[in-house]
Structure 1
Amino acid sequence: MEGVEETLRTLSIARRLRPEEPAYLLDVALQPAASARGSALAVTCSDLSLHLHDNQTLALLGRYQGHTDTLCGVAFAHASPDVLFSASADGTVRVWDARQPGAYAVRVLTSDASHRYCSFDRSCDDRLLCAGTEQVDEEDSFLVFWDARVAGTKEAQGTGVLGVYSESHSDDVTQVRFHPSSKDRLASGSTDGLVNLFDLSRGSEDEALLATCNSGSSASTVVWAGEELTRILCLTHDEGLHLWDIGRLDTDEPLTVHSVGDARQLSPPGGGGASVDYLVGGMWLEDARRLVVVGGASGGTLHLMECDDKGLRLLSSLQGGHTSTVRCFLWDAVEEALFTGGEDGQLLLWKPGGEELTPGKRETMKSDSVLKLRSRPHKRHGHERRGGGGGGGGGERNSAQSL
């Protein structure tokens, strides 16, 4: 872990890209390094565009247009690095050719006309696509699946939908995350407070649902983590943090590894009084076997914190970068580089010992961006949560069950 700590501790800005036109940066994805052209970085923006950047210089390679509402996810195919997916509240998942930035979508995937997507992912073998919808008719929300090999083609029937889960969530499905190495495992999180674990190989929705954990709040982020990738990190829209070990499902041990209702009340050990005003997300560092949670302070500082059974411990604080809320980040393990983007419209590349080529920083655009309304936060509901609380020790045993 000392090597990772040293790497994270010495991160500094190597490149900074300021946009010509202000837009929030919402999500980021890295192209697999399987192309002679090198890797590209895909970034979704609040102006409904999708940008492609060089991952070394951050130079803009091109942009895609086509979505008509807020983008909710972007990802490259694992085995086909030139295949790029994006999903949107306009009810479409679009497939792009990364070799032709600026071109029209190669395929457009849809489902029911009432569906507005607010989360998206693809399986580790690239065969399945899944999008989570916003709430429909005040009580229903859906997980929609497509077979990526035929969806949107002549071989697909109707909209090309392979199947739909409709009973597991009752509000916006804010996160869908396929397991990094098990093609049939899927975790979903929702503003109904529930995080569900599925084994898609079991067929029907009832049979596929393996476990339900309750965060007690609106789930914003779900991350697979742990030595055997059996732990699930859940962050909530009110800055709560929960770490569950689903490897304990068949034991009498409590699923909760660590839980805190409001991380803003914490001062991470070793942080010298560092404040955490919001949580951005989490990342599992496979080589280091460590779970890192990224949090931010109102002044623009980013905190990288290790999360384990003992709670949060500050690893590094990154300063001098963003001037407003950070919305997205991505760790490139090969290059030992961190990419971050946020509401100030800046895209930053951090590297150990990096020296910024373009000094200075853009003033915050948080208060005067006319585009902020297009990137609305998920609503929070006060209705009764199913399955009890997700708090301490064994509290979730009643809300996490093997089916």
Structure 2
Amino acid sequence: MADIIDTEEEDRDIVGPEEIEQLFSKKYNLLTETAVSLKKSYINKLATSKSLKIAVSLVDNSIEVYQLSNTSLSKVCKLSGHKKELTDVVFLPKEEHLLHSCGQDGLVKLWDTRTSGSCVQDYKDEEEQIVRPYLCMDVSCNSRVLCAGSQTVQNDAYLVFWDQRITKPLGGYWNSHTDDITQVKFHKKKPSVLASGADDGLLNVFNIMEPNEDDALTYSLNVENSIEKITWLSDTQASCVTQSSDLQVWDTQRGDLIRSYDRDKISRTIKRSRGDDCYMVDTYRSADGECVMLAGSHAGSGNVLRSVTATSKKLQPTSNFVGNKQIVRCCSYNAERDILVTTGESGRISIWSTSAEIKEQNGVGHKLATSMNKMRVRHKPY
């Protein structure tokens, strides 16, 4: 019997280097980079503050916190305390030295990065004996309300709310999702507005000031695919990245699907030949208000990382991140400084900017050559 030969070509660029250079015209430089461990250590989650304090969660269920200064990344502290997989981290918007985390051990913790990373508060669940493994969390823009989303437990998936100053839950929702809740994101300006996404394919929008769950649920939008990431792009628009690396943008005031792009469309825009080898990292709102998508390819050494911008008519190639060294899983954009932070499977924290020259630093990373400017309680959760 003849051997079966795989004739499928590996993913590659469909245009030459000169055209890539011209198409991806917004240039980002790798300012600085650090590896969180001498061994490759997969980074699961990323959180950044406005002052560019950076927290990453690692596969050993610990958190490492760094500060971006004018010239480099410096390690602030390491946090350990979760007994099972650590699933999310988020800084308090109003108190950037404080950091929340949650995990599949059902624990929600508050850490103070000023005190060598000590845990200053554990948030209790209800008095029931049920352990709710949490997969995601977020804090409202006024730093008052904390929400965590759970795996399905006894046929219910929970959104649990706390006043971040008090350990006992304010309440919870458990009827709006029928599968594991994968994302919760508070609105950037409206502390009462929350979006949640789950493996049931629903993108739900809540007004948590309403007295009960039924009244709080403003829209239940059917994405028809498991939701991996949600981003608020504007006052009225939210995007979601699906498990199959498709992107949808929704109007959360009217409940309308505005734009939708599948993985093949995105891969063609970043000028790659095989959609199956490409992946979506996340979306963010650029400094000029556009929706930017970050995507990459698994092919070769996994160094291909590019961004595209979603205009009203089509996708436009934007940036080619030359010098990327890993499959990127998380990103965070700082619009004030036009800085993008990326992390991923090789355990690297990479800082990208359009504004500064770079130089080699001991063959390991790069640094700036110039300084940067500047529950069973179904009631109203808050």
Same fold (TM over 0.5): yes
On the 8 A contact 2:24/2:317 being kept in 1, the answer is no
- Per the alignment, residue 248 of structure 2 pairs with 242
Alpha carbons 1:51, 1:63 under 8 Å: kept: yes
> How is 1:32-111 mapped onto 2 (pairs within 5 angstroms)?
32-33=50-51, 39-56=52-69, 57-103=72-118, 105-111=119-125
| Structure 1 residue 212: Cα displacement | 0.9
Amino acid aligned to 1:143: L
- Measured after TM superposition, the shift of residue 217 of structure 1 is 0.8
Task: Give the equivalent residue in structure 2 for 1:128.
Answer: 145
Corresponding residue for 1:399?
none
Task: Give the aligned residue type for 2:112.
Answer: D
Task: Point out the structure with the larger strand share.
Answer: 2
Match for residue 186 of structure 1? Answer: 194
Percentage identity across paired residues of the two chains: 30
Matched length = 332
Partner deviation per Cα, 1:292-335 (whole Å, 9 max, x = no partner): 11111112211111124334222111132123x21111112233
Deviation at 1:59, TM superposition (A): 2.3
Counterpart position of 2:46 = 28
Q: How far off its partner does 1:354 sit?
A: 4.2
Cα 1:297/1:16, change in 2 over 3 Å: same
Alignment pair present for 1:313 and 2:330: no
Given that residues 120 and 175 in structure 1 are in contact (C-alpha distance below 8 angstroms), is that contact kept between their aligned partners in structure 2? yes
Distance 1:67 1:313 in 2: 42
1:272 to partner: Cα distance: 4.5
How many Å separate the matches in 2 of 1:281 and 1:266? 12
> Contact 2:157 / 2:180 at 8 angstroms: preserved in 1?
yes
SS of the residue aligned with 1:85?
strand
Aligned residue for 1:135, secondary structure, equals strand
* Residue 144 (structure 1) aligned with residue 160 (structure 2): yes
State the TM-score, normalizing by the size of structure 1.
Answer: 0.77
- For residue 89 of structure 1, report the CA deviation from its aligned partner: 1.3
Report if the CA contact (8 A) 2:24-2:320 is conserved. Answer: no
Partner of 1:296: 296
| CA deviation map 1:41-93 (0-9, x unaligned) | 11111211111112131222220110112222211111112211111111111
Q: Is the 8 A contact 1:134 1:173 kept in 2?
A: yes
Aligned residue type for 1:220: E
Instruction: Give yes or no for contact 1:326–1:342 (8 Å, CA) kept in 2.
Output: yes
Q: In 2 relative to 1, CA 202–280 (structure 1 residues): closer, same or farther, beyond 3 Å?
A: same
CA distance in 1, matches of 2:211, 2:360: 53
- Runs in 1 of length 4+ with deviation above 4 angstroms? 5-8, 271-276, 359-362
Rounded Cα–Cα distance in structure 2 between residues aligned with 1:265 and 1:197: 27
The answer for unaligned runs of 5 or more in structure 1 is 34-38, 153-159, 250-254, 363-403
Aligned partner of 2:340 in structure 1 is 338
C-alpha change, 1:61 and 1:72, in structure 2 (3 Å) is: same
Aligned mates of 2:361, 2:294 — CA distance in 1 = 25
More displaced 10-residue stretch of structure 1: 339-348 or 309-318:
309-318
Supply the AA of the counterpart residue of 1:90: D
1:214 maps to which of 195, 212, 222: 222
Return the TM-score normalized by structure 2: 0.81
